Structure 1
Amino acid sequence: MKKTLVAIAALTAVSAFAQSSVVIDGYFDRAFTSVNNTNNNLDAKSVGSNAGTTTVGIKAREDLGGGLSVGGSVNTDWADLGGAQQKDAIGTAQRGGFANSQSFVDVTDAKLGTLRLGAPNSFTLTNATAVAQPGFSTAIGSAYSSNFSTVNGLGTGKTDNGGIVNASSDIKNSAATAQAGVTAGQRAIRIANTVQYSSPAMYGVTAHVGFTPKNNNDTGAGTAATFNTSSATANTAVKAYGNTVGVTEYALRYTQGPVDAMYTSIKYSVGNNIIGAGGSVATTALAANLTNTQNLLGATYTVMPSLKLHAGFGNFSSSNDAYKGKSTQYGATYTTGAWDIAGQMAKVDDQSTNDADRKMTGLGVNYNLSKTARVYARYDNINYASNKAAFEGSAQKRTAIGVSKSF
């Protein structure tokens, strides 16, 4: 449900003026959460958003008549004041500032489609969270969270570094000595400097394309001063923090009757002048001329009003074979009265030289107090190296009980 704050419309007997509106909407979520990791140092209890992302959006639109309108969206995601880690940097202020989520201006024509300019969410994110899996969003139980993702390689989903391309990093939930070759994965969320186009629906089919230009002109050598870090050694081999990664994305979606199916393909391209570690571009140095492609076919089938089945099949590969593999996931959602029950299983077959497979089981229960309010429980069980001998930090379980409210 959306609350319209301002709506101005003026009509006369002889002419009609443009109609404008400004809407505020959002989602509030808090849960008591317990994390049990095989690295006991990472066991934690906290209160935070664990069924979805707490967010507030401001949306404006002006109807110009004839099916043409101009609008925009600015969204802000809020994290807790420190959460389980009461560090100075995040314990005194909320992570991220205003408009740290998707934000864009769009022009929409009923016959021609929609053009977006800015940092809109990727089509891959929509596929991964709204089509290929039950309604776990990117939180506990999701196959597309910061703790587990179905793809390796480049992405824009690193916590506190939104809109910037990074490479898959070592699993954050393991001891430093055991991290080599084990990854929690990467995600396509959104990226700055993006142009997107979405077609009108025709026989249930919509087509989508996104483009983010690559900057590759900065050839300066990286230094500790350049990257604003105390480690000169870490920047010895990198260059050019002013360069950016180019991104192209394509999607097709079919939504009609009981079927909602979507195919997405996103490709990241690094220039020959590399992208430096640190500074304002990426926290992980990227190899020169690296390309990384991630594909996903997702589908939801409504068997009956109370039962939906979900599935996703993906693959990813890079030009240097550093990232290569495939993923599968299956899930279901069952609704009875005020209750929603959902579950899914996902696994990643890592075919790179690291060969670190991972798997995840997610469960969720909602009791809907109304159309916009619910109490819920979430659980997931993640093994980050299912084909290797267990080690400290190779597995974790999370449980959350909370309440959420959308508006």
Structure 2
Amino acid sequence: MAATGAFAQSSVQIDGVVDVGYQAINYKGGKVNGIGNNGSSTSQINFRGTEDLGGGLKANFRVETDWNTVSNKGNTGSASTPVTLGNETVAAASTFGNGEIRVGLAGGFGSIDAGAVNYNTLGTYLTGQPFGTAIGSGFRTFYVNDAQGTSQVRSDNSVKYVSPSFSGLNASLYYAGKQTKANGTADAGTPGAYTAVGVKDTSFGGLGAYDMQGTTELGINYANGPLAASFSSLKQDYKQVGTGTTDSTVNTLGANYAFGAAKLFGLYQTNKTNTSSTNNKAMTISGTYTMGAVVLMAQVGELKADAGTYSGQKSKLVALGADYNLSKRTAVYFRAESIDDKARAMNGAVNPQQIGGAANVAALTDQKFGRTSVGVRHAF
């Protein structure tokens, strides 16, 4: 009886998404098409759990794994760099537990989680436009989620506090300590777009075994009735991290308002360094309209560079999308995205430079990037 009672106070949930479809990509005149994944959502599986500790206190955990739905090699766990024959997909991004990992406590004080915890900035981004992080969203192509070259959505060795909600309003604080004790060695990763330090592409060891930028973030979120809004200010300190010399600040404001079958979204972001090497401002306006099982969506926006070689130049984003919901969990979708990147702000994480070869791509003056996808998304 005691064992049964303990079990009743605990629960584990498994959920996820599978997304696959036909995709056509055109990057600077280099074209490729075929069956790809994540056209409308990130394919993933989540293990979540909670235990009622009594007195309003709960323990929670999440282990997220983002998987590759179109490549077996993409899920083997191999992490060869550079990619070699027989290891066509660098698969470290498809190994178990590669997404958000956290464990923590929640109660009347709010919640506190530690691990590799998602930034509030990710939630702000999702509040400000309807395309998620997939085709049409501008995620990692038009907008950044942090100042790293691959625009990460979380940091290792992090802790996050979220306050209780007061009439739909809460605040969050995020911290990941800077690491600079790795024998003074420079980062082994590829140099990023915003600093001299690249993102680590190998597994981290224990504290002190690697250098890592420091991250702090303040978030404010509101959701009540037809209005939702979120603001995040994320700061990253790269000084003395590898060869880093900069501080970076990414401020993001997102909001949406529902009226009837329509919903209007707005997203605004600034991305600056203390050395003025980067100073970008981006804004998009988007909307959705629901007609029974059909959801239509569109987005337009502009990014302006106020620093660097392309200061004064503007990049343009146009996106269209549609979902036909076959059920509450399954949909057929269409997504199309076009970016004219005159400001040269497109994030390096998604530039398909393999199309035609990096040297050929670099020689092209056309800065247009387009993606189209038709596919199926199933949630479980």
Q: 1: CA distance between counterparts of 2:89 and 2:158?
A: 32
Alpha-carbon distance between aligned partners in 2 of 1:377 and 1:152, rounded to the nearest angstrom: 24
Instruction: State the one-letter code of the partner of 2:341.
Output: Y
Note closer, same or farther for the CA distance 1:95–1:326 as it changes in structure 2 (3 Å cut): closer
| Equivalent residues of 1:149, 1:187 under 8 A apart | no
In structure 1, the partner of 2:95 is: 97
The yes-or-no answer on 1:212 pairing with 2:176 is yes
Note the alpha carbon deviations across 1:50-89, whole angstroms, 9 max, x for none.
1011000001111111211112100100123268x99532
Determine helix, strand or coil for the equivalent of 1:244.
Answer: coil
Aligned partner of 2:217 in structure 1 is 249
Taking the aligned partners of 1:92 and 1:257, their CA distance within structure 2 comes to 44
Distance 1:9 1:313, change over 3 A: farther
Counterparts of residues 157-196 of structure 1 (less than 5 Å): 167=149, 187-196=151-160
Per-residue deviation at 1:219? 4.4
| TM-score (normalised: structure 1) | 0.75
Please, which of 35, 41, 44 is the counterpart of residue 46 of structure 1?
35
Q: Of 137, 140, 148, which aligns to 1:142?
A: 137
Q: Secondary structure at the match of 2:165?
A: coil
Other-structure match for 1:113: 110
Residue 154 (structure 1) aligned with residue 147 (structure 2): yes
Q: C-alpha separation between the residues in 2 aligned to 1:228 and 1:191?
A: 16
Q: Is the 8 A contact 1:131 1:262 kept in 2?
A: yes
Q: Secondary structure at 1:34's aligned position in 2?
A: strand
Secondary structure at the residue paired with 1:191? strand
Offset of residue 313 of structure 1: 1.5
Letter aligned with residue 256 of structure 2: T
From 278, 303, 320, the counterpart of 1:323: 278
Q: Please give the residue correspondences for 1:315-394 in structure 2 after superposition, counting only pairs within 5 Å.
A: 315-355=270-310, 356-385=313-342, 391-394=364-367
CA contact (8 A) 1:196 1:211 kept: yes
CA–CA separation in structure 1 for the residues paired with 2:180 and 2:137: 35
After TM superposition, give the deviation of residue 48 of structure 1 in Å.
1.7
Instruction: Provide the secondary structure at the position in 2 that maps to 1:214.
Output: coil
Q: What amino acid does structure 1 have at the position aligned with 2:143? A: T
CA–CA separation in structure 2 for the residues paired with 1:197 and 1:268: 18
Alpha-carbon separation, structure 2, partners of 1:385 and 1:47: 27
| Distance of 2:163 and 2:93 partners within structure 1 | 35
- Residue 58 of structure 2 corresponds to which residue in structure 1? 69
SS at match of 1:126: helix
One-letter amino acid of the structure 2 residue matched with residue 313 of structure 1: Y
| Aligned counterpart, 2:358 | none
Q: Which amino acid aligns with 2:342?
A: A
Cα offset, 1:188, TM superposition: 4.1
Structure 1 unaligned spans of 5+? 1-7, 156-166, 168-185, 230-234, 276-285
Distance 1:384-1:299 versus aligned 2 partners, 3 A rule: same
* Residues 373-400 of structure 1, C-alpha deviations (whole Å, 9 max, x = no match): 1001110011111699x94451122111
1:152/1:324 contact within 8 Å kept: no
Which residue is 2:200 aligned to?
A: none
Aligned-partner SS, 2:154: coil
Letter in 2 for 1:125: L
2:184 and 2:115 map into 1 onto residues whose CA distance is 28
Report the CA distance between 1:90 and its aligned residue. Answer: 3.5
Alignment length (residue pairs): 334
Question: Offset of 1:205 from its aligned partner?
Answer: 0.4
Secondary structure in structure 2 of the residue aligned to 1:140: coil
> In 2 relative to 1, CA 317–387 (structure 1 residues): closer, same or farther, beyond 3 Å?
closer
Report the AA paired with residue 299 of structure 1: A
Q: Any conservation in 1 of the 2:303–2:343 contact (CA below 8 Å)?
A: no
- 1:282 counterpart residue number: none
- Kindly indicate whether the alpha-carbon contact (under 8 Å) linking 2:146 and 2:153 is maintained by their aligned counterparts in 1: no
Conservation of the 8 A alpha-carbon contact between 1:322 and 1:353 = yes
- Aligned partner of 1:131 in structure 2 is 127
**CA offset at residue 196 of structure 1?**
0.1
- What does residue 21 of structure 1 align with? 11
